[in-house]
Amino acid sequence: MLRAVAKVTAGRGDLTVLAVEGLSVSYGAIRALRDVELEAHEGMITAVLGANGAGKTTLLRTITGLVKPSAGSVRLNGTRLTGMAVEDIARVGVAHVPEGRGVIQELTVDENLRLGTLWRLGRSERRKAMEEVYGLFPLLGERRNRHASTLSGGERQMLAIGRALVSRPKVMLLDEPSLGLAPIVTAQLMAVLRDLAVSSELTVVLVEQNARSALSVAQRAVVLNLGKVVVSDDADVVAADNDLRHHYLGF
Amino acid sequence: MSRSRRLRLPTRPFPRHLLFALVAAAGFYGLTSVLSDYDNYRLGEIALYAVALAGLSVLTGMNGQISLGHGALMAVGAYTTALLMTHTQLNFVVELLAAVAVTTAMGVVVGIPATRLKGPYLAGMTLILALGLPLLADKYSATFGGDQGLSTNSPTPPGSISAYEWLTWIEILGALITLLLLANLLRSRFGRSFRAVRDDEIAASLAGIHVARTKVIAFAVSAGCAGLAGAFLGVSTGVVSTGEFPLSLSIGILAGMVLGGAGSLMGVWWGAVALVYLPDWSTSISKSFSLGNGVSAYLATIIYGVVLIVVMLLAPSGIQGGLRRGASEIKAFIRRRRGDSVTDELQESEGPAMATVGSGGPEGGWSRGEGPATERTDP
Amino acid sequence: MKLFVDVTLNGVANGMIFAAMALALVFIYRATSIVNFAQGAMGMFTTFIAFSLLDRGIGYWEAFAAALGIGLVLGALVQRVLIRPLQGKPELNPVIVTIGLLVVLEGLAGSIWGNSAKGFPPAFSQTGLTVGHTKIAFSHFDLFILGAVLTLMIATLLLFRGTSLGLRMRASAFEPEVARLLGVRVGRILTLGWALAAVAGSLAGLLVAPTASFSPYYMDLSLVFGFTAAVIGGLDSPVGALVGGLITGLCVSYVGGYLGASLQPLGALALLMVTLTARPQGIFARPEARRV
């Protein structure tokens, strides 16, 4: 039922929020990304799929400025991001939930969340935004004064996403959020993402090795292989293509 | 094609090292016979500092452990020799070897707790050693001669050779033998485990290397070198006292190693020359800029510090590293001119020393600090 | 018995100074994961500047404040010019650079102000207070030391725990990359961390100066003891710095009182080695959380 809703609203998500053009990245002699193109539209989840080492994480890290590309550009609503400092890219509205979640273990849940609000919101707004996230993830609210190290994997993922949301980003990039999570938790997670995209018109780029669950919530899918884009199409087209799935996605 | 025209060097490392050592020995012999007594004395100093630098270079460049306490270890070697000379009639070589033995044992004693420390913490601990150990000699001044110190005897030269030349020869011989042994050590299984531990302790232990034992051995070897150098220093200056081994000596040795290139046995000669001639150069610099007496006393130490800072910031692999890189650039240039394909764009690897001190790997971002103790190293 | 009391009190007073040094080291370690070996020398340098100011007739507290202020600037400068370029390089490089800085500062101080031991006037009287009928080895100046360092420690704790800036600093220290992704200007935070640590170091320099022979090397031992205090306390805890400082101060004082002053560094060394063998992470260190 929810999937049908997603498909109906897909029509209006034509505004390109994030545009990647001709992106190439090299580590010494290794070409990690070759001429990658990608568009992420408003209110849509774009899945980036591919085997290990295909360049998915490198793509995200280049978008958020942790890695400098050798060629190509990344634009957010027309503003050129390539060449900007990491923290400036974050302040323009790009929220990156990195591989491994990036939850700071030594801080409490509340502190982790507050960290996401600092640059953006005034003091009174910060608390409000944080309470909104607690409303979205009640489990976090219960554990707000506990150290992040005491959370389970799924809770940590909620925290990481909540922390990204609390700054009201324009684009959210998620790097393998399902890693290390049980299938049930992964399904819950994907449901949350889907709801967010629909309800708040959030633009999401979802890197996943678990292609099946990613394709179940995404509207668009891009498949990388050895640093190159081999497929860029609607998600259900990709999901339906058996050969493609077997060859690049392993199921 | 051009291969047959190239000089055929022995391909196996041990004979090759021996050949280099013999050629160097011949060269030095020629040098000593033409130099004046004073210059021979300086040459001897260069040789003894080369020994100390080689020891530290092996420890830091090859095994990744930093030490600010090598001056104190030199003091141990010096005092051992001086005490033996004062109280016994042993042969000179025996006294030298005793200094090496005692300092090596000291290296084991210090090396064992050192296995639990990393980077800055190890530096801190060895710093305390450098400051504290010489104070022992002050405390027990009866045995150690207090401020005056103990005096040492130069070995008597055979025939009509001057005493200076003879001592210089012994120091050069000591240096060449030390470098030869170290070079062979580094090529051996031990050397490989040194480097493996430096690069990645966990991987090394998974590969079956006993990490703690390797680190202690490296420390002991390095200490032995310092002991020999200290003994030479004591003999050449004629007196051994705490004033000869201030903190600036340990720092100077560190600076010399960094300048020459951490981990490079060839580089130690650059560092040794710098250490020996630096006081002279700084005096003449301060004279030519009329900086006054106050400054010239401190200029040498200031220069040590500047060397450490500048080399680390601009040329972390030191002189030898810079030469090596220059040589590979030239080689690549020649290959390109000849039309040979230069297939790999990868930089020629910067040499073994570069992992812990130097240019480092491609990872960006701030290095995340960890606690002072390494985990799970039981000696 | 009197010796014991005197030595203990002396140990407490010294321990507070070591705690100040340790605090500076902890500050930098928490902010940048680097141990600043020049911390003592920087404090020495700013104290010498204060001394020059005093010589020219500036009031004591003005010179005191000036030293702290110059320390702030010096710390920021050192981080920007010497430390930031080493970002991403092997861990030993900043160690060597700070050692080089230590040596340069000591040489510069010697050149500028000469090697002769001068006297640095204390802020308060250094004669022992009278408790009951006995004079104890604790003076007004020692009380000042106690107060100043406690204030510093409380201010540090408040900064780290209670403010947004403190949160940013902790995040930058624990996970600099994640902090950047959250919009924290990590570079500036690190510079600020060094600046604040330098203030603590300057304070230590000012507190030690009246009690030591005032040469360029007078902070060497304080660095060493402060380092010991920091490592014992757990290198990432301000409270640990305080406790470590007290333990080190007492230990060093007992060694000095009963065995002789020249054995004090070795006493600290022994303390360090024992702690590292028994409890390598220090007393107050939080367990190393691993990322999942």
- pLDDT by position in tens, chain B (length 379): 444 555 666 667 788 888 888 888 888 888 887 888 788 888 999 999 999 999 999 999 888 888 999 999 999 999 999 999 888 888 888 989 999 999 999 999 888 888 877 778 888 889 888 888 888 887 787 788 777 788 888 877 777 777 788 888 889 999 999 999 999 898 888 889 998 888 888 888 888 888 889 999 999 999 999 999 999 999 998 888 888 888 889 989 999 999 988 888 888 999 999 989 888 887 788 777 776 666 666 888 888 899 899 988 888 888 887 888 888 888 888 888 776 655 443 333 333 333 445 444 333 222 333 334 433 333 3
On the question of pLDDT at C101 being above 70, the answer is yes
Answer whether C42 touches B (CB < 8 Å).
Answer: no
Q: Does A150 touch chain C (CB under 8 A)?
A: no
pLDDT of residue B202: 85
Residues of B in contact with A67 (CB under 8 A): 364
Using a 10 angstrom Cβ sphere, with 0-12 exposed, 13-18 middle and 19 or more buried, the burial of residue B325 is middle
Q: Give the model's confidence band at C127: pLDDT under 50 very low, under 70 low, under 90 confident, else very high.
A: low
Q: φ, ψ for residue B151 (rounded to 5)?
A: -100, 155
Q: Do the beta carbons of residue A41 and residue A20 sit within 8 Å?
A: no
Distance, in Å, from the CA atom of B215 to the CA atom of A226, rounded to the nearest integer, reads 41
Which helix (H) or strand (E) covers residue B80, if one does? helix B70-87
Q: Which two tokens stand for residue A196?
A: 């967010």
Stated length of chain A: 251
First-last CA distance in chain A: 25
State residue B25's pLDDT score. Answer: 87
**Residue C265, in any domain of the structure:** no
Q: Test C180 with A87 for CB contact under 8 angstroms.
A: yes
Reported as a single tens digit per residue, the pLDDT across C89-99 is: 777 888 889 99
Segment (H or E) for B151: strand B150-151
Question: By the 8 A CB rule, do A104 and C178 touch?
Answer: yes
Tell me the sheet residues that pair with A75. A19, A80
In degrees rounded to 5, what are phi and psi of residue C13? Answer: -60, -50
Long-range CB contacts (within 8 A, 24+) of A3-6: A3/A216, A5/A198, A6/A194, A6/A197, A6/A198, A6/A217, A6/A219
**CA nearest B105: which of B216, B183, B194, B250?**
B216
Q: Please give the torsion angle defined by the CA atoms of residues C243, C247, C250 and C251, in that order, rounded to the nearest 10 degrees.
A: -170
Residue B179 CA to residue C157 CA, distance in Å, equals 52
- Overall domain count for chain C: 1
Domain that holds residue A17: 2-249
Integer Cα distance of B279 and B209 in angstroms: 43
**Does a structural domain hold residue B376?**
no
Domain-located, residue B180: yes
Distance in angstroms (rounded) separating the CA atoms of residues A197 and A7 = 12
Q: Among residues 144-203 of chain B, which lie with CB inside 8 Å of chain C?
A: none
Cβ pair C269, B125 in contact under 8 A = yes
Whichever domain contains A162, its CATH number is 3.40.50.300
> Would you say A36 and A59 are in contact if contact means Cβ atoms under 8 Å apart?
yes
Q: From the centroid of its chain, how far is CA B352?
A: 16
Please indicate whether, in this complex, the C-beta atoms of A115 and C291 are within 8 angstroms of each other.
no
Distance CA C145, CA C153 (A): 12
Three-state SS sequence of chain C: CHHHHHHHHHHHHHHHHHHHHHHHHHHHHHHHCCCCCCHHHHHHHHHHHHHHHHHCCCCHHHHHHHHHHHHHHHHHHHHHHHHHHHCCCCCHHHHHHHHHHHHHHHHHHHHHHCCCCECCCCCCCCCEEEECCEEEEEEHHHHHHHHHHHHHHHHHHHHHHHCHHHHHHHHHHHCHHHHHHCCCCHHHHHHHHHHHHHHHHHHHHHHHHHHCCECCCCCHHHHHHHHHHHHHHCCCCHHHHHHHHHHHHHHHHHHHHHHCHHHHHHHHHHHHHHHHHHCCCCCCCCCCCCCC
How many of the other CB atoms lie within 10 Å of CB of B323?
16
Region of poorest pLDDT, from A86-100, A206-220, A235-249, B99-113: A235-249
pLDDT band for position C67 (50/70/90)?
A: very high
- Residues paired with C6 in a beta bridge: none
How does DSSP assign A22-53, residue by residue? EEEEEETTEEEEEEEEEEEETT-EEEEE-STT
What is the CB-side half-sphere exposure of residue A23 using CA atoms within 13 A?
Answer: 33
Cβ <8 Å between A153 and C292: yes
Joined tokens for residue B133: 């150990």
Query: Is the backbone of residue A42 left (phi > 0), alpha (psi -120 to 50) or beta?
Result: beta
Amino acid identity at A154 = G
The answer to whether residue C239 is domain-embedded is no
* Mean pLDDT (whole number) for C143-171: 87
ipTM: 0.87
CB A88 within 8 A of CB A76: no
**Tokens encoding A35:** 């001429």
Tell me which of C95, C248, C291 to substitute to probe the interface with B (most B C-beta atoms closer than 10 Å): C95
Please tell me if residue A251 touches chain B, with a CB cutoff of 8 Å. Answer: no
Whether the per-residue pLDDT at A34 is higher than 70: the answer is yes
- Report chain C residues whose CB lies below 8 A from the CB of B125: 269, 272-273
Interchain CB contact of A152 with C (< 8 Å): no
> B364, A66: Cβ pair inside 8 Å?
yes
The pLDDT of residue A121: 74
Give a yes or no: residue B251 inside a domain: no
B-C interface: how many C-beta pairs under 8 angstroms?
203
* Residues C20, C22, C25, C26, CA torsion sign: negative
If one counts the domains in chain B, the total is 1
Tell me if B322 is assigned to some domain: no
- Taking an 8 Å cut-off on Cβ atoms, the answer to whether A114 and C164 are in contact is yes
pLDDT of residue B124: 86
8 Å CB contact of C268 and B312: no
Question: Is B267 buried (19+), middle (13-18) or exposed (0-12) by CB count in 10 A?
Answer: buried
Q: Give me the domain span that covers residue B220.
A: 12-246
Indicate whether C266 pLDDT > 50: yes
Q: How many CB atoms lie within 10 A of CB B56?
A: 29
Mean of per-residue pLDDT scores for chain C: 84
First to last CA, chain B: 53
Q: What percentage of chain B's residues is helix, strand, coil (to nearest 5)?
A: 70, 0, 25
Query: What span, in angstroms and rounded, lies between the C-alpha atoms of A242 and A244?
Result: 5
For residue B17, give both structure tokens. Answer: 């090292």
**Which element (helix H / strand E) includes A61?**
helix A56-63
State residue C110's pLDDT score.
86
User: Identity (one letter) of the amino acid at A23?
Assistant: L
Is there a contact between C178 and A102 if contact means CB atoms under 8 Å apart? yes
In-domain check, residue B338? no
Q: C211 or C189: whose pLDDT is higher?
A: C189
Is residue B365 situated within a structural domain?
no
Q: How many CB atoms lie within 10 A of CB B135?
A: 18
Report yes or no: A30 at the B interface, CB cutoff 8 Å. Answer: no
> What is the Cα–Cα distance from C285 to C26, expressed in whole angstroms?
11
Q: Across A183-197, A224-238, B215-229, C77-91, which has the greatest mean pLDDT?
A: B215-229
**CA pair distance B200, B198, nearest whole angstrom:** 6
Looking at per-residue pLDDT, the higher value among B32 and A91 belongs to: A91
Res. C60: pLDDT tops 50: yes
Mean residue pLDDT of chain A comes to 86
Distances in Å between the Cα of A164 and the Cα atoms of A56, A115, B5, C14 are 19, 10, 66, 47
Tokens for C209? 């100066």
pLDDT at A228 over 80: yes
Query: Dihedral sign, CA of C244, C250, C253, C259?
Result: negative
Nearest-10 Cα torsion for C153, C155, C160, C164: 180
pLDDT for residue B47: 93
**Distance in Å, alpha carbon of A74 to nearest chain B alpha carbon:** 21
Average pLDDT for residues A23-48, to the nearest whole number?
89
Q: How many separate domains does chain A show?
A: 1
Chain A residue at shortest CA distance from C184: A87
Q: Which two tokens stand for residue A58?
A: 């490198």
Q: What is the pLDDT of residue B86?
A: 86
Neighbours of B206 (CB within 10 A): 9
Contact status of A118 with chain C (Cβ, < 8 Å): yes
Write out the residue range of the structural domain in which residue C217 sits. 16-231
The DSSP secondary-structure symbol of A106 reads: T
Q: Which amino acid is located at B286 in the chain?
A: S
Instruction: Mention every residue, 6+ apart, whose C-beta is less than 8 A from residue B254.
Output: B56, B66, B68, B70, B308, C96, C99
- DSSP labels for B241-291? -GGGS-HHHHHHHHHHHHHH-TT-TTTHHHHHHHHHHHHHHHHHHHHHTT-
Question: Within 10 Å of residue A52's Cβ, how many Cβ atoms?
Answer: 7
Higher pLDDT among residues C289 and B158, named by residue: B158
Residue B326 resides in a domain: no
To the nearest whole Å, the CA of A30 is away from the closest chain B CA by 9
What is the pLDDT, as a whole number, of residue B309?
Answer: 92
pLDDT of C44 > 90? The answer is yes
The conformation of residue A178, written as its DSSP 8-state character, comes to T
Assess if residue C204 is contained within a domain.
yes
pLDDT one-digit tens code per residue, C237-252: 778 888 999 999 999 9
CB C89 within 8 A of CB C96: no
In a domain, C129, yes or no: yes
Q: Is residue C57 part of a domain?
A: yes
The answer to whether position B129 is within a domain reads: yes
CA distance A38 to chain C (A): 21
List chain C residues with CB under 8 Å of A118. Answer: 164, 167-168, 182-184
> Contact B172/B236 with Cβ under 8 angstroms?
no
